[in-house]
Structure 1
């Protein structure tokens, strides 16, 4: 028995576990280049070698936003099929610790490819770290834009 994001998942040794993959990049440029998506897809592919991947959902959206149609669809399919939501890394799910805790509390079963045996404590710590990184990214972006404006750049 191992704990995934929302609950303890018991998988009998003879059964094949089912997953619904959710891949996310933050910008259209990342989505068009495919590089971030390909790395996530590779992690999911490695993780599901001995499992069943039901479907893959791809979204180009900021991790700040909690309302994401593709994520909602992925979660709905996972619940309907009794599958686990699979993400490459926790920050691909969200960079908002509160949102991740809401998913857990709502019983959304999820697992991260890069830390498949994570428990509630581990997920909580990494969720807070992802949120902190989001805040740092925002500060750096604002500082860079302020510097560009000071140099006379049109934004």
Structure 2
């Protein structure tokens, strides 16, 4: 059976977080552990320092667009450390699901698309503890 391939995407919201590297390092550790446990590696890695807020979030996130394009070209799955690093906006998450690119959050590896949408709703409402 062929190996599943992944494209890693890391995001922090502010320049300060990006400059410290702490948020990015923590995300890399989570993703690295996820891949290592499965004997996998990433075929690409994209880093973004940009807010996830707003209806046009994808317009302001060129690295995410590049990651999605690589996933489409290679048939890879987008891998993120935590769902909130992708987005907390339900509309945005739904739009990502509609792209046809599979994605997985390392902190919720067994979540299906419906669960991910529900998690996005709960994140928006501050109810993430229900899923954790």
| 4+ long deviations beyond 4 Å | none
Shift of 1:105: 1.8
State whether structure 2 residue 29 is matched by structure 1 residue 42: yes
State whether structure 2 residue 121 is matched by structure 1 residue 128: yes
User: How big is each residue's C-alpha offset from its partner over 1:103-140, in whole Å with a ceiling of 9 and x where there is no partner?
Assistant: 1122121000001110123111111122234xxxxxxx
TM value normalised by structure 2: 0.86
Counterparts of residues 20-59 of structure 1 (less than 5 Å): 20-49=7-36, 50-59=39-48
| Partners of 1:83 and 1:121 in 2: CA distance | 20
Q: RMSD value over aligned CA atoms? A: 1.1
| Partners of 1:132 and 1:34 in 2: CA distance | 28
- Unaligned residue ranges in structure 1 (runs of 5+): 1-13, 134-155
Greater gyration radius: 1
1:97 aligns with one of 85, 90, 113: 90
Q: Say how many residue pairs are matched.
A: 120
Shift of 1:15: 2.3
TM value normalised by structure 1: 0.74
- Unaligned residue ranges in structure 2 (runs of 5+): 127-132
Q: Is the 8 A contact 2:58 2:64 kept in 1?
A: no
| Partners of 1:83 and 1:39 in 2: CA distance | 23
Identify the residue that residue 104 of structure 2 maps to in structure 1: 111
| Partners of 2:15 and 2:90 in 1: CA distance | 24
Q: Is the 8 A contact 2:58 2:65 kept in 1?
A: no
